């Protein structure tokens, strides 16, 4: 039995792993939003929920993540940012379409009203 490990055909497994990772080697566009500590946490939570619901329906949507609890690290020492949201899209067109969608404009305005800082940039895994 000990000698059988090397004789297994891994080609099918390797192919499945490569197929699953195929989308992650490509460039993508990321929306990064930072909500200030001065904003009402309940209002921010509502905006984040509405943003997630809108973007998850958008073509080219990849993922939506948000910070949980207190931020940590050197950048959090000043206490200006209370929540971070990261959204990934396949392309710039997909990101811009989601951000400019009529159904998202009320949420965008609410986000800006609480003082959120927003970035959109191209990124890739290295």
17 belongs to a structural domain = no
User: Can you give the CATH number for the domain in which 78 is found?
Assistant: 3.30.70.100
Domain count, the chain: 1
Residue 113 CA neighbour count, 13 Å, CB half: 10
Dist. CA 21–CA 17, nearest whole Å: 6
d(CA 57, CA 45): 19
In the chain, % helix, strand, coil (3-state, to 5) comes to 50, 25, 30
What H or E segment, with its residue span, contains residue 32? Answer: strand 28-36
Domain that holds residue 49: 26-123
Q: What's the pTM?
A: 0.77
What's the CA gap between 79 and 76, in Å, rounded? 5
Q: What is the pLDDT along the chain (126 residues), one digit of tens a residue?
A: 444 444 444 344 333 333 334 455 578 999 999 999 999 999 999 999 999 999 999 999 999 999 998 899 998 888 899 999 999 999 999 999 999 999 999 999 999 999 999 999 999 888
């Amino acid at each position: 039995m000990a000698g059988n490990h090397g004789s297994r055909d891994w080609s099918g497994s390797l192919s499945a792993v490569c197929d699953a990772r195929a989308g992650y080697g490509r460039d993508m566009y990321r929306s990064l939003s930072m909500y200030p500590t001065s904003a009402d946490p309940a209002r921010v939570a509502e905006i984040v929920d509405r943003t997630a619901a809108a973007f998850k329906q958008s073509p080219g949507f990849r993922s939506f993540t948000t910070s949980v609890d207190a931020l940590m690290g050197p950048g959090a020492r000043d206490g200006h940012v209370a929540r971070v949201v990261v959204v990934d899209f396949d392309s710039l067109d997909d990101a811009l379409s989601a951000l400019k969608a009529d159904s998202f404009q009320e949420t965008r305005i609410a986000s800006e009203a609480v003082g959120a800082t927003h970035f959109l940039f191209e990124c890739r895994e290295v």
